[in-house]
Structure 1
Amino acid sequence: MEKPAEFNAIIQPAVLPTSLAPLQGGTICMVYSYYLSPVLRAVDVQIIPQCQYYYYYRITDNMVCAGSPLGGKDSCQGDSGGPLICNGYFEGIVSWGISCANKYFPGVYTKVRNYVSWINWIIDNDNTS
Structure 2
Amino acid sequence: LGSSGILTTFSDVLHCTDMNRISAAECQAAYPVGVTDNMLCAGVKEGGGDSCHGDSGGPLVCDRELQGVISWGEVECSLPNKPGVYTRVCKFLGWIRRTMWEN
TM-score normalised by L of structure 2: 0.84
Match of 2:50 among 54, 74, 77: 74
Pick 1 or 2: higher relative contact order, CA cutoff 8 A, min separation 6. 2
In the alignment, structure 1 residue 111 sits paired with structure 2 residue 88: yes
For residues 82 and 54 of structure 1, the distance between their equivalents in structure 2, rounded to whole angstroms, comes to 22
Structure 1 portions without partners, runs of 5+: 1-33
**Rounded Cα–Cα distance in structure 2 between residues aligned with 1:60 and 1:89:** 22
Q: What whole-Å deviation, never above 9, does each CA across 1:36-73 have from its counterpart, x for those lacking one?
A: 22221111111000211111142100110000011111
In 1, are the aligned partners of 2:45 and 2:82 still within 8 Å (CA)? no
Cα RMSD, aligned residues only:
1.1
Local SS of the residue matching 1:116: helix
**Larger-gyration structure (1/2):** 1
The whole-number CA distance in structure 2 between the counterparts of 1:94 and 1:83 is 6
User: Greater CA deviation, 35-44 or 103-112?
Assistant: 35-44
The unaligned stretches of length 5 or more in structure 2 are 3-9
* Residue aligning to 1:56: 32
- The answer for the alignment partner of 2:65 in structure 1 is 89
* Structure with higher helix content: 2
Tell whether the 8 Å contact from 2:41 to 2:83 is kept in structure 1 after alignment.
yes
Identity %: 44
